[in-house]
Structure 1
């Protein structure tokens, strides 16, 4: 198995990521590509929520909160084009349901990202053109309801051991040594944002991450920011936002936490590799459009 971190297509923003897993099987003369699994995050989106003192309301965003933007659509379209070019000698030039499968989390932005990706990966040609004025074709994107999605919806909400590890993480010396230098800053942030200080201190509830993300989205889309959101403040918020995400899988007992969460998807991908290597299975590529 090889893991490939894809180079960023143009206009990719910092929170987008793409990973390709490939299965290369040793043939008699040279290695033969047998199977590809692709995992990507949605493209550029609007903020998920706002905070009490935010200058901007949901109505100011064309489709509201948490929605894929036109930039995000273009990003994933270009990613589909990139993968089409990279695997032009492996993947069928036209869509074949037996060779290809794509699944998305049950969010508008991830579903639309999957659709944008497919537009770049499988533009209809020859007999698949059904409307000469529209070089696009419908391709099924498979969805599992949030409540039962154990492949892509993170963090999983029904794992008592992971919840236990998260509580231990928040009180661990490793975590506390990282957050203590920011305590005065968090008090100032509570005043500036209107959020409860005790909630901001609990990083895995994502209140602080969401606040940073809201300011980040507003900034890159040229919305005015509050006067207190200076570069120094936003930089500190970014560090805490990174710590918030890191606390899910890192900082403390990282191997066990990663296995309990990401291990579910990794196991599914590894099983697909085994099937591709040991059988005449037709499927060549599986794609996952994920991240809430």
Structure 2
């Protein structure tokens, strides 16, 4: 999907790129009381990147190597490229897998002829201080108020009421409390859907009640969980407090690239589905679906032949 923030027919030169992606395929974050499987059944435990996830981000890196072959140097240059990640194993490892596809060493950067890989620094935001990528951002009393208002708002209730009987059945099947399942912003239903989704992908047995219809309804509720977290009710104000913070950071990076004599060529963020969702809702481009593994949002800055600049936004 390509969205033009400013369109022009004049010749232009790409000057700067910002990339935000979700980590790759991972194991479940948590199990639910009646789950058939325990954390010990997953090779590295919960919340960890899988080999499939590594491959997904490696291929994303390869895609970007081809897309920006005439813009980004084939050799890694720390002055031109910078990557940051949240402080989670899966996002750090996703960033590393992505880099192995984007910057395979060539010529003088080959340090081991039998290993076409090179170490590239991934800068980490600490969980206690991270205020860019780990959404929803904490310690915001007004956002907490808005979330409480959202749960009782007419907009939210109209969306969740058709699922009340289903939620009662889910409470029985999962062993979770109904009141917790109905409060979508506490992630319990979303995490339960995610656990079943992960188990299904990796051919783990599912409980008998987890039919295709049940999984589909849980997916719809998980999508509503994400949307209600950053939207549904007073979306504009929520976005100023959440996804808008990241939009502002991105805009400041673009302004810096415009005004700098030697700007970076690319900045990359390795993050989560909530990061992508918060950003897209703030930009009013959210399609209502959960961002899949390795979902990627691009921001491109161009200089036109007349000296003006334009920004292009698209997702993959």
**TM-score, L = length of structure 1:** 0.90
Report the counterpart of residue 228 of structure 1 in structure 2: 209
SS of structure 2 residue aligned to 1:288: strand
Tell me how far 1:22 sits from its aligned partner.
10
Gaps of 5+ in 1: 6-20
Matched, 1:218 2:166: no
Match of 1:134 among 93, 106, 115: 115
SS of structure 2 residue aligned to 1:147: coil
Matched, 1:64 2:53: no
Structure 1: distance between partners of 2:8 and 2:165: 55
Q: Structure 1, residues 224-272: CA drift from partner, whole Å, max 9, x if none? A: 1000111111111111111111111121011111221111111111111
Tell me how far 1:155 sits from its aligned partner.
0.3
Report the counterpart of residue 74 of structure 1 in structure 2: 55
Matched, 1:200 2:181: yes
SS of structure 2 residue aligned to 1:225: coil
SS of structure 2 residue aligned to 1:133: coil
Tell me how far 1:279 sits from its aligned partner.
2.2
Structure 2: distance between partners of 1:231 and 1:165: 34
Count of paired positions: 273
CA contact (8 A) 2:256 2:263 kept: no
Matched, 1:89 2:87: no
What are the equivalent positions in structure 2 for 1:134-213 lying under 5 Å apart? 134-213=115-194
Match of 1:33 among 14, 20, 24: 14
Rate the CA distance shift 1:25–1:145 in 2: closer, same or farther, 3 A: farther
* Superposition RMSD in Å: 1.9
Structure 1 runs of 4+ off > 3 angstroms? 21-26
SS of structure 1 residue aligned to 2:242: helix
**TM-score, L = length of structure 2:** 0.83
Q: Structure 1, residues 40-62: CA drift from partner, whole Å, max 9, x if none? A: 00011111000010001111111
Match of 1:246 among 208, 224, 227: 227
Report the counterpart of residue 299 of structure 2 in structure 1: none
Structure 2: distance between partners of 1:174 and 1:113: 36
Tell me how far 1:4 sits from its aligned partner.
4.7
CA contact (8 A) 1:47 1:217 kept: yes
CA contact (8 A) 1:22 1:37 kept: no
Q: Structure 1, residues 42-87: CA drift from partner, whole Å, max 9, x if none? A: 0111110000100011111111110000000000000000001000
Match of 1:49 among 6, 22, 30: 30
